[in-house]
């Protein structure tokens, strides 16, 4: 590559990365998958490695990312909250081991899952929670103490009144809480979060901590940042100690004597990563001895004693057996593909959303097709592409009538969704009732979404009129 071309490409990549950083860190609403982002980042890194004169001080490769938001007061971290270097191949893990052994002689490793949420710091004085903050850019984060207090797995008081301890953990939303939140948001006409990580980040940065409390967040604590009143020398010792204080630590981790053993464990975590009930975005290999960690130190950006491994998105081909149409509570017809079951990231996948008519048309998805399914860090599988059509197949056509009530469906110009036009459509009953009872309409007290849902599920209410004939 010529330098002029490289310069143009680097500038373009920086623009793209800055845009996606903003979407990810500030707006909690990313537009691309993590591995796509990693691809852009790595491309920029390789150009800068080839042409070091092109490195600019504001290049995203020179910063840690995640600027603090203005709505919370800043917290300067006494101990930097570093991010880890990512590996994408086992070869890179072996290289990491070689560097560690060259500097430290021999090393023992701890392998643990890398939780996919929002990194926070918790400080306790005399055993009482005194402050919680986000990681921010690693140096300065946001004070979110009030919101942190609402998380049920964050102890407000430790089992032992240490003079001072600061720990680091990952706040996350379980898949169960995420599913419940998405359903609720959809019912109330809000846009659901793209994935549990964004939901966790968005929930943690609420100005109103009551909203945070309603979101059912959790935490895994994985590191001691600072401590007085105890002497701890190994990472596994630290995890046991943290558990003893009342923290929730990783449900599993393994001590490994060789990198071969560690890689074996990384593979094992990868095979079960889709079935954990919470999202992980990789595994981490850490040097166990704190004395060795101190000796190894850090580069400008990363500690030299730990290495993250990112799993590639898993893809498999399978056959599309049928397309089911479901009518949502907002009247939108959503096509779902039903596939011959395949195993992806440790879970059996036989269904994936086909989103809408445009998605199907764009990929020319037909019943009987052989398609590629993918499961990335997300919990929801997706159709990547069509490999081949079955013989004699025809382009798919959305139904003309609502499968729930038989009324005509329509698609507004400029909208991707196909909707049922019937105001009395039973599939939309609950949403109509919620609106009917809301302050904007009839202002009926005591009939919130949860109660209405129970009434419709039990079949007690089939129309708004039924609400008036209910007897207690
Ligand atoms: Zn209908």
Q: Which of 62, 83, 107 is the last residue of a domain?
A: 62
How far away, in angstroms, is 327 Cα from ligand 1 center?
Answer: 7
Q: Residues 8, 43, 71, 114: which is the catalytic one?
A: 114
> By CB neighbour count within 10 A (0-12 exposed, 13-18 middle, 19+ buried), where does 327 fall?
buried
How far away, in angstroms, is 190 Cα from ligand 1 center?
Answer: 21
The reply to whether 141 and 225 lie within a common domain is yes
Helices (H), 215-313: 235-245, 259-272, 290-296
Q: Provide the CATH number for the domain around residue 55.
A: 1.10.287.610
The answer to whether residue 416 sits within a structural domain is no
Q: Which of 254, 279, 309 is the last residue of a domain?
A: 309
Q: Provide the CATH number for the domain around residue 430.
A: 1.10.150.20
The reply to whether 302 and 328 lie within a common domain is no
The reply to whether 198 and 264 lie within a common domain is yes
How far away, in angstroms, is 426 Cα from ligand 1 center?
Answer: 7
The answer to whether residue 406 sits within a structural domain is no
Reported as a single tens digit per residue, the pLDDT across 272-331 is 888 888 999 899 999 999 999 999 999 988 999 999 999 888 889 999 999 999 888 778
Q: Provide the CATH number for the domain around residue 397.
A: 2.40.50.140
Q: Which of 37, 62, 87 is the last residue of a domain?
A: 62
The reply to whether 88 and 181 lie within a common domain is yes
How far away, in angstroms, is 136 Cα from ligand 1 center?
Answer: 47
CA distance 281 to 273: 9
The reply to whether 220 and 263 lie within a common domain is yes
How far away, in angstroms, is 398 Cα from ligand 1 center?
Answer: 14
The reply to whether 294 and 215 lie within a common domain is yes
The reply to whether 345 and 449 lie within a common domain is no
Question: Is 194 considered catalytic here?
Answer: no
The answer to whether residue 303 sits within a structural domain is yes
The reply to whether 217 and 272 lie within a common domain is yes
> Are 335 and 355 contacting, i.e. CB atoms less than 8 angstroms apart?
yes
The reply to whether 276 and 131 lie within a common domain is yes
ipTM of the complex: 0.98
The answer to whether residue 272 sits within a structural domain is yes
How far away, in angstroms, is 419 Cα from ligand 1 center?
Answer: 8
Question: Would you call 359 helix, strand, or coil by DSSP?
Answer: helix
Rounded to 5 degrees, what are φ and ψ at 464? Answer: -55, -35
Q: How many CB atoms lie within 10 A of CB 96?
A: 23
How far away, in angstroms, is 216 Cα from ligand 1 center?
Answer: 33
Reported as a single tens digit per residue, the pLDDT across 207-254 is 888 889 889 999 999 999 999 999 999 999 999 999 999 999 999 999
For the stretch 219-238, what's the b/e string if a residue is b when 16 or more beta carbons lie within 10 angstroms of its beta carbon? bbbbbbbebeeeeeebbeeb
The answer to whether residue 410 sits within a structural domain is no
The answer to whether residue 231 sits within a structural domain is yes
The reply to whether 351 and 279 lie within a common domain is no
> What's the structural domain count of the chain?
4
Going by the DSSP 8-state scheme, the letter that residue 403 receives in this structure is: T
CA distance 81 to 89: 25
The reply to whether 147 and 179 lie within a common domain is yes
- How do the pLDDT tens digits run along the chain, 472 residues long? 888 999 999 999 999 988 887 777 767 777 887 778 888 988 998 898 888 888 887 777 775 444 444 578 999 999 999 999 999 999 999 999 999 999 999 999 999 999 999 999 999 999 999 999 999 999 999 999 999 999 989 999 999 999 999 999 999 999 999 988 988 887 777 778 878 888 999 999 888 888 898 899 999 999 999 999 999 999 999 999 999 999 999 999 999 999 999 999 999 999 888 888 899 989 999 999 999 999 999 998 899 999 999 988 888 999 999 999 988 877 889 999 999 999 887 778 999 999 999 999 999 999 999 999 998 655 778 999 999 999 999 999 999 999 888 999 999 888 888 999 887 888 788 777 877 777 666 667 777 777 787 887 777 887 777 877 776 5
How far away, in angstroms, is 39 Cα from ligand 1 center?
Answer: 43
The answer to whether residue 415 sits within a structural domain is no
Q: What is the bridge-based pairing of β-strands 332-344 and 347-353?
A: antiparallel
The reply to whether 212 and 339 lie within a common domain is no
How much is the pLDDT for 206?
86
Structure tokens belonging to residue 443 = 């202002």
How far away, in angstroms, is 455 Cα from ligand 1 center?
Answer: 20
Parent domain of 356 = 314-401
The answer to whether residue 24 sits within a structural domain is yes
């Amino acid at each position: 590559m010529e330098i002029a071309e490289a310069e143009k490409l680097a500038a373009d990549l920086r623009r793209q990365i800055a845009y996606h950083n903003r979407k990810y860190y500030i707006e909690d609403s990313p537009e691309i998958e993590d591995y796509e982002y990693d691809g852009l980042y790595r491309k920029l890194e390789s150009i800068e490695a080839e042409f070091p004169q092109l490195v600019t001080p504001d290049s995203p490769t020179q910063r840690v990312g995640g600027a603090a938001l203005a709505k919370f007061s800043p917290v300067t971290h006494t101990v930097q909250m570093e991010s880890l270097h990512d590996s994408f191949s086992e070869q890179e893990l072996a290289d990491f081991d070689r560097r560690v052994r060259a500097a430290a002689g021999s090393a023992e490793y701890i392998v643990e899952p890398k939780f996919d949420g929002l990194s926070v710091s918790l400080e306790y004085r005399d055993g009482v929670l005194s402050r919680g903050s986000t990681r921010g850019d690693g140096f300065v984060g946001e004070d979110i103490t009030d919101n942190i207090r609402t998380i049920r797995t964050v102890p407000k008081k430790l089992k032992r009144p240490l003079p001072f301890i600061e720990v680091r953990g990952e706040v996350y939303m379980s898949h169960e809480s995420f599913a419940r939140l998405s359903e609720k948001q959809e019912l109330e006409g809000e846009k659901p979060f793209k994935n549990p990580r964004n939901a966790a980040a968005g929930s943690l940065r609420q100005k109103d901590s009551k909203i945070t409390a309603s979101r059912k967040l959790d935490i895994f604590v994985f590191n001691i940042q600072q401590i007085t009143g105890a002497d701890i020398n190994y990472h596994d010792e630290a995890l046991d100690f943290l558990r003893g204080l009342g923290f929730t630590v990783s449900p599993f981790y393994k001590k490994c004597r060789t990198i071969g053993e560690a890689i074996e464990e990384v593979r094992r975590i990868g095979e079960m990563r889709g079935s954990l009930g919470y999202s992980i975005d990789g595994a981490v290999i850490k040097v166990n001895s704190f004395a060795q960690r101190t000796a190894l130190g850090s580069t400008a950006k990363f500690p030299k004693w730990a290495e993250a491994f990112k799993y590639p998105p898993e893809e498999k081909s399978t056959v599309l057996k049928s397309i089911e149409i479901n009518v949502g509570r907002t009247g939108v017809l959503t096509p779902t593909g039903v596939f011959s079951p395949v195993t992806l990231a440790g879970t059996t996948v036989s269904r994936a959303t086909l989103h809408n008519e445009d998605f199907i048309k764009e990929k020319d998805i037909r019943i009987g097709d052989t398609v590629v399914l993918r499961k990335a860090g997300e919990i929801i599988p997706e159709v990547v592409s069509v490999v081949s059509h079955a013989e004699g197949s025809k382009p798919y056509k959305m139904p003309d009538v609502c499968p729930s009530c038989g009324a005509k469906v329509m698609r507004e110009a400029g909208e991707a969704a196909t909707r049922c036009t019937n105001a009395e459509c039973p599939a939309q009953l609950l949403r109509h009732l919620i609106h009917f009872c809301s302050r904007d309409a009839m202002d009926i007290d005591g009939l919130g979404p949860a109660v209405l849902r129970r009434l419709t599920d039990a079949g007690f209410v089939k129309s708004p009129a039924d609400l008036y004939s209910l007897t207690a």
